[in-house]
Amino acid sequence: MNNGRDSLFYLRKGFRVVAVEASPPAVENARINLAPYIDSGQLVIEPVGLAAQEGEFIFYANLDNDRWSSFNKSWGTRNGTQYLEIPVQCIRPQSLFEKHGIPYYLKIDIEGNDIDVVCALRDFPLRPRYVSIEESQTSYFAELWSVGCRQFKLVDQWSLWQVKCPNPPLEGKYVEIDFDNTTSGPFGDEAPGEWLDFSHVLEAYLTKVRSPTRGWLAAETSSFDIHGRIDSYR
């Protein structure tokens, strides 16, 4: 959930939202700022982390950039930034899905354990219509394919300031909003760009984003999300 801006966008579009957040200060802020949605039952906040194994783990809360906070120490303390070590209870993604059901849209950006959430979908017969995950490596495309994604988009988060929601809307209600690089932007059919099949998105990724031989290829400021569509959703 982080600062709650993505959650607020989905709420304004009329969706019911289950938001997961490991940082106690972020949870407290959201409970204050999003109180009307919590009171109405449209928003449920799970104040936990997600991991392959359940238990209490150290959460590295980055004080200079809260979007870097992570259970992975090298991620949460990167670049010599200031941080706090906070013990936080973690649950398996399977437990989250068992409690709340499989969502229409599964947004994943948890700084380190992202792919565990994708892999957890294998334990369920139903799948989301859409999944998005912060890119990190080529294998993510294969993992998304393994849970049913057959169409993909690559979205540069640093270009979201140029993106506007379509009207009439393609997902939920129309919302007039300005995006920036601290938000995830539109999802599903409203996400910018055309849907690509597996071979074409992999070609685009390896030639424009991250090459296994030449490393990072995109602009230094760029940061990408991979969006997947599961046509067997029901």
State both tokens at 127: 């799948």
- Vertex 162 angle, CA 158 and 167, to 5°: 130
Instruction: For residue 98, give the H/E element and its range.
Output: helix 93-100
Q: Is the dihedral of CA 126, 172, 44, 68 positive or negative?
A: positive
Q: Are 87 and 57 in contact (CB under 8 A)?
A: yes
Confidence of residue 112 (pLDDT cuts 50, 70, 90): confident
Each residue of 123-155: pLDDT tens digit?
999 999 999 999 989 999 999 999 999 999 999
- Vertex 132 angle, CA 84 and 58, to 5°: 20
Q: Which residue, 6, 48, 25, 1, is CA-closest to 181?
A: 6
Q: Are 70 and 55 in contact (CB under 8 A)?
A: no
Confidence of residue 93 (pLDDT cuts 50, 70, 90): very high
Q: Which residues, other chains included, contact 28 with Cβ-Cβ below 8 Å and sequence gap of 6+?
A: none
Q: How many CA atoms lie within 13 A of 186 on its CB side?
A: 26
Task: Tell me the DSSP string of 202-232.
Answer: HHHHHHHTEETTTEE-S-TT--EEEEEE-TT
Q: Are 105 and 187 in contact (CB under 8 A)?
A: yes
Q: Are 90 and 55 in contact (CB under 8 A)?
A: yes
Omega before 168 within 30 of 0, i.e. cis: yes
**What percent of the chain is modeled with pLDDT above 90?**
81
pTM: predicted TM-score of the whole model, two decimal places: 0.93
Q: Which residues, other chains included, contact 16 with Cβ-Cβ below 8 Å and sequence gap of 6+?
A: 41, 42, 43, 44
Q: Are 171 and 189 in contact (CB under 8 A)?
A: yes
State both tokens at 5: 């801006």
According to the model, what pLDDT value does residue 234 have? Answer: 59
Each residue of 162-217: pLDDT tens digit?
999 999 999 999 999 999 888 999 999 999 999 999 999 999 999 999 998 889 99
Domains of the chain, by residue range, sit at: 110-234
